[in-house]
Amino acid sequence: MNNFFAVVVSGALLCSATSAIAHHSFAAQYDADKPVTLQGVVTKVEWTNPHARFYVDVEDEEGKVVNWNLELASPNILRRNGWSRNFVEEGDEVTVEGSLARDGSKMANALAVSLADGTRILSRE
Amino acid sequence: MALTLIAFLFAGPLLAQEGGGTRDEGDAAAFARAGGDLISQTPAQELLERPAPRLPDGSPDFSGLWIGSGPIRDIGLGLLPGEEIVLLPEAKVLMESRLAKDDPEANCLPTGVPRIAPYPWRIVQAPLSGQATHLFFLFEGNIHSYRQIFMDGRGHPEDLDPTWYGHSIGHWEGDTLVIDTVGFNDRFWFDFRGHPHTEQLRTIERYTRTNYGTLEKIVTIIDPGAYEKPFTVQFDATLRPDWELMEYICNENNQDVQHIQGPASE
């Protein structure tokens, strides 16, 4: 399993330069200067276009649980980078590194996802 | 799952029957032998640098799956030396007023010409034997769509309804495919920055397959309704013999536009 994910990570790294672009301007939606790290439990995965998304329940500083909407690339780009729709599943405990949405909504573009076993999967918008 | 992925990575190149040449498994086998990076699916440089293939009648063969090309972010990035973009005052006002959320591409509408979505596209020639009467450009994104280029010598009709891809007629000048297109609507943008055009737009695209893996694309934009003078840009595409078109139904879950902020920008 570890070897398998090593393959995935190297594939994502190699492809990141060509996949860091989508059907809209990244900078108009997300702020690369506002990195965020979110830890929580996956509540839903949408393997859909134009972006795959997953939603994570994150407990804030006051103990209130907030559901975050996390954007990945499109399934066709993710597939070509070696991803599968099963990499992140409902119930998984994840740590997500991403860029915050400019409009202040509970939304981020996910750059890397770490699973409970320590596996870190890279993604690029 | 791991086995499935590995099988997929190895089967892709071996199944590829791209780009003409002899159209037998020799090309795909050569790809595998040439030591292309099967993990990243990067085609071997040796294959991509071979001479451009030809159809049995000697004409250039452009068929295959292409990625890259453009414009995507900014049409100005492709300006050839000495070329410049000079917007007419009305077009300048329009461009400066455009908001990123209104980009038709962000709204899952077609790219128009010469814009390209950051997804692959395939050129299909028909018929495969003898002189092509039609070329089809099949786009994975921004929506599943296509352009048809008439190669049978017809001209442009007089009364065209304005459309996203216009009416395209093509001919060969040596090994260069020249496509003349009119009849565009004014709804698409040339890029993320929102470069505009009017229904007077005419594009002259010149495609040359300079080697097996490279499709040179030089486009002249002629629009006296939006630009003071024509300008010419170049954006080249790269062959991906190890890829196939995949489904990309852009509008099935498009949550982006309601969160996109500010003026049109790269």
Our CA-based measurement puts residue A14 at a distance from the nearest CA of chain B, in whole angstroms, of 7
B115 to chain A: closest CA residue: A23
The count of structural domains within chain A is 1
pLDDT of residue B129: 76
Range of the domain at B16: 2-48
Name every chain A residue with its beta carbon within 8 A of the beta carbon of B101: 28
On average, the pLDDT of chain A sits at: 83
Q: Is the pLDDT of residue A34 over 80?
A: yes
Q: Is the pLDDT of residue B25 over 60?
A: no
Our CA-based measurement puts residue A84 at a distance from the nearest CA of chain B, in whole angstroms, of 9
Q: Is A11 on the interface with B (CB under 8 A)?
A: yes
Q: How confident is the model at residue A12 (pLDDT cuts 50, 70, 90)?
A: very low
Mean pLDDT, range A23-41, rounded to an integer:
92
The count of structural domains within chain B is 2
Confirm if B6 and B17 have CB atoms less than 8 A apart: no
pLDDT of residue B266: 84
A52 to chain B: closest CA residue: B253
The interface predicted TM-score (ipTM) is: 0.78
Confirm if B5 and A82 have CB atoms less than 8 A apart: yes
Distance CA B52, CA B233 (A): 23
Indicate if B44 and B73 belong to the same structural domain. no
Indicate if B17 and B111 belong to the same structural domain. no
**β-strand B134-139 against B121-126: which pairing, if any?**
antiparallel
Ranges B62-71, B94-103, B123-132: which has the least confidence? B123-132
Measured CA angle at B63 (ends B15, B35), to 5 deg: 45
Domain annotation covers residue B58: no
Q: Do B261 and A22 touch (CB under 8 A)?
A: no
Q: Which helix (H) or strand (E) holds B187?
A: none
Indicate if B86 and B128 belong to the same structural domain. yes
Domain annotation covers residue B89: yes
pLDDT of residue B58: 85
A82 to chain B: closest CA residue: B5
Indicate if B204 and B165 belong to the same structural domain. yes
C-alpha pair distances (Å), A109 with each of A35, B19, B193, B223, B225 = 9, 36, 21, 38, 39
pTM for the model stands at 0.82
Mean pLDDT, range B172-192, rounded to an integer:
97
B117 to chain A: closest CA residue: A23
Indicate if B161 and B241 belong to the same structural domain. yes
Domain annotation covers residue B232: yes
Distance CA B99, CA A52 (A): 24
Indicate if B174 and B148 belong to the same structural domain. yes
By percentage, how much of chain A surpasses pLDDT 70? 82
- The residue type of A35 is P
Indicate if B14 and B120 belong to the same structural domain. no
Indicate if B126 and B11 belong to the same structural domain. no
Interface test with A, best of B41, B67, B257, B261 (most A CBs within 10 A): B261
Q: How confident is the model at residue A66 (pLDDT cuts 50, 70, 90)?
A: very high
Q: Is the pLDDT of residue B184 over 80?
A: yes
Domain annotation covers residue B193: yes
Indicate if B152 and B75 belong to the same structural domain. yes
Q: Which helix (H) or strand (E) holds B217?
A: strand B214-222
Domain annotation covers residue B238: yes
Q: Which of A18, A53, A103 sits opposite B259 (nearest CB)?
A: A103
Q: Is A104 on the interface with B (CB under 8 A)?
A: no
Q: Which of B142, B255, B261 sits opposite A23 (nearest CB)?
A: B142
Distance CA B198, CA B187 (A): 8
Ranges B24-28, B86-90, B110-114, B178-182: which has the least confidence? B24-28
Our CA-based measurement puts residue A21 at a distance from the nearest CA of chain B, in whole angstroms, of 7
A53 to chain B: closest CA residue: B253
Q: Do A102 and B140 touch (CB under 8 A)?
A: no
On average, the pLDDT of chain B sits at: 85
Angle of helix A2-19 relative to helix B2-15, nearest 10 degrees, comes to 50
Q: Do B255 and A18 touch (CB under 8 A)?
A: no
Q: Is the pLDDT of residue B141 over 80?
A: yes
Q: Is A86 on the interface with B (CB under 8 A)?
A: yes
- The residue type of B255 is Q
Ranges A81-85, B23-27, B170-174: which has the least confidence? B23-27
Interface test with B, best of A3, A24, A44, A48 (most B CBs within 10 A): A24
Mean pLDDT, range A63-78, rounded to an integer:
94
Q: Do B259 and A21 touch (CB under 8 A)?
A: no
Our CA-based measurement puts residue A91 at a distance from the nearest CA of chain B, in whole angstroms, of 20
pLDDT of residue A1: 32
Q: What is the pLDDT of residues A116-125, one digit of tens each?
A: 999 888 876 3
Distance CA B114, CA B190 (A): 7
Distance CA B140, CA B120 (A): 6
Our CA-based measurement puts residue B139 at a distance from the nearest CA of chain A, in whole angstroms, of 13
By percentage, how much of chain B surpasses pLDDT 70? 83
Indicate if B150 and B125 belong to the same structural domain. yes
Q: How confident is the model at residue B48 (pLDDT cuts 50, 70, 90)?
A: confident
Our CA-based measurement puts residue B126 at a distance from the nearest CA of chain A, in whole angstroms, of 27
Ranges A36-45, B207-216, B253-262: which has the least confidence? B253-262
Q: Is the pLDDT of residue B10 over 90?
A: no
Range of the domain at A80: 2-122
Q: Which of A22-36, B32-46, B216-230 has the highest mean pLDDT?
A: B216-230
Q: Is the pLDDT of residue A27 over 70?
A: yes
Which tokens in the block code for residue A38?
Answer: 């979110």
Q: Indicate the Cα dihedral angle B60, B64, B69, B71, nearest 10°.
A: 100
Domain annotation covers residue B178: yes
* Residues pairing with A58 in the sheet: A66
Domain annotation covers residue B159: yes
Q: Do A28 and B262 touch (CB under 8 A)?
A: yes
pLDDT of residue A21: 64
| Cβ neighbours around A121 below 10 Å, total | 20
Q: Is the pLDDT of residue A53 over 50?
A: yes
pLDDT of residue B49: 87
Domain annotation covers residue B264: no
User: At A34, which CATH number?
Assistant: 2.40.50.140
pLDDT of residue B84: 98
Mean pLDDT, range B43-47, rounded to an integer:
71
Indicate if B102 and B218 belong to the same structural domain. yes
Q: Is the pLDDT of residue B40 over 60?
A: no
Q: Which of A76-80, A110-114, B138-142, B146-150 has the highest mean pLDDT?
A: B146-150
Which runs of consecutive H residues, i.e. helices, occur in A20-106?
26-29, 75-80
